[in-house]
Amino acid sequence: MSDNFRLTLAQLNPTVGDLAGNAAKALDAWQKAKAAGADMVALPEMFITGYNTQDLVMKPVFHQMAIAAVETLAAQCADGPTLGIGAPAVEGGKLYNAYYICRNGQVVSRVLKHHLPNETVFDEVRVFDSGPLGGPYSVGNTRIGSPICEDAWHEDVAETLEETGAEFLLVPNGSPYFRGKMEVRLNMMVSRVVETGLPLIYLNMVGGQDDQVFDGGSFVLNPHGELAVQLPVFDEAIAHVNLQRGPDGWRAVPGEKTHHPDDMEQDYRVMVESLRDYMGKTGFKKVLLGLSGGIDSALVATIAVDALGAENVRCVMLPSEYTSQGSLDDAKDIAERLGCRYDYVPIAEGRQAITNTLAPLFEGTQPDITEENIQSRLRGLLLMALSNKFGEMLLTTGNKSEVAVGYATIYGDMAGGYNPIKDMYKTRVFDCCRWRNANHRPDWMQGNAGAVIPVSIIDKPPSAELRPDQKDEDSLPPYEVLDAILMMLVDGEASVADCVAAGFDRDTVKRVEHLLYISEYKRFQSAPGARLSPRAFWLDRRYPIVNRWRDPS
């Protein structure tokens, strides 16, 4: 009986729908495992299709091709280590989220996911059928249990595997980031280790998919919860984990333990990686955005340069008569600090033409928010024209506070294909800008080091500059108050009474609640953006557009 087992972990970045590309990544990992003398190479959950596939996987021709791709891969990996890879499976007319075990040129075993997540960004109950509780599979003379992602968050699957002879647990995952997620994962997996007494290998994928970023951070736990191996977050990695069998069973030999950055750095990395992968996986090469001289567009421009390089970012200042000299100076300053293209496109002439066109219809009325929004929509029109002409994807720049209360113009400054800061509240935007000025990570940031965001942008009062001397606080509570209320109403699903009990003025809370509900139609039409929290707008929080209910408390 062998007392050593080498497992290669392939923490890789698949692309949804790219069956051939994902299979090629898996084959390359297998070849590296073979060269390293591994007994098995493992890839994450649903790797062959990419994850999260949503309804795509239910399309018969798609899941049939995915299954065929696994069978072809198994044949290619005949002479070497066992291959474990996630893919859909069909059995008895039912569709499953499965983990395939391939050896000697064929599929020798399949694990079917039992617990299907049906909250936050997941709708697996809608997509897949639940598999039965099963036992371990064999690799040589070693029996391995593989709870698939959600299965490891419940006691029964791991305990059944331990009771039926599993000697260690290998957990393939497609687990996306939210702030603090790693601690949640570690605590849950330690529970499984303590309950079963078995080592546990947690394998997660990396990379962006629409709003989600899979953050990797794969790890290995020995019995009693001792951390033996910790892979980096966000980066692809091929790691060889050695296990040794002793009198008390298998134990992982301690290996690399990568330090994980703090929450702010991880949030910023998610915004960079989500944009980079969204661009790369959809085929766009360049972006543009309206650079107002304000803090939100300054942060988005910085993220874009860090993600894509300054040569692939165009910043456009579109001033009106209400644009302050300070904003003009700040916009040009940050573009120069970032090193990206800067275009100056005044909107006065176009705005006057629109005003003249509408004058007969508006006769007898007083100027109001309509005229303010024309400015924003004209800017959106001009930016989309540049996008169409030059093939550059337009980024939109609204933070979570603005997205929540609708402090943005639909078909105006909301126009765009992606919003990196969509899930970051305004108060955190300020903190994030200060963090980026003080920190530079050359291994994954393509932008310049140093204070790339002028302090004058961070320090000045926020303003849309759509009328004379306008300030955001003319229309909204101070952001410190607004964000605190929103964190209760949105992230915490708190009641109005809860907010009042926390010390907030009831009229202010009711006003914020009203704005939150009446802005649902805007969010329904807004661009996707990086998910940083477990209550991001889109899949995490889904409210009806037509909704007359208001909290009476």
Catalytic residues: 45, 113, 149
Of 79, 179, 63, 32, nearest to 491 by C-alpha is 179
Radius of gyration of the chain (CA): 26
Sign of CA dihedral 363, 366, 369, 372: positive
- Per the rule left: phi > 0, alpha: psi between -120 and 50, beta: everything else, 224 is left
Of 275, 294, 271, nearest to 286 by C-alpha is 275
108 SS3 class = strand
Q: For residue 346, what are its two tokens? A: 């005044």
Q: For residue 301, what are its two tokens? A: 């421009």
Vertex 78: Cα angle to 73 and 84 (nearest 5): 55
Q: For residue 20, what are its two tokens? A: 């051939």
Match 């968050």 to its residue by tokens: 153
114: DSSP letter? -
What's the Cα-to-Cα distance from 363 to each of 353, 357, 367, 407, 538, rounded to whole Å? 16, 11, 10, 27, 40
500 SS3 class = helix
Q: For residue 181, what are its two tokens? A: 């997620």
Distance, CA of 291 to CA of 296 (rounded, Å):
9
Burial class (CB in 10 A: 0-12, 13-18, 19+), 168: buried
Question: Which residues, including other chains, have CB under 8 Å from residue 458's CB and lie 6 or more apart?
Answer: 295, 430, 433, 434
Of 151, 168, 139, nearest to 112 by C-alpha is 151
Vertex 279: Cα angle to 388 and 233 (nearest 5): 160
Q: For residue 420, what are its two tokens? A: 């990196």
Question: Which residues, including other chains, have CB under 8 Å from residue 315's CB and lie 6 or more apart?
Answer: 288, 289, 290, 291, 297, 301, 331, 334, 335, 338, 340, 341, 342, 343
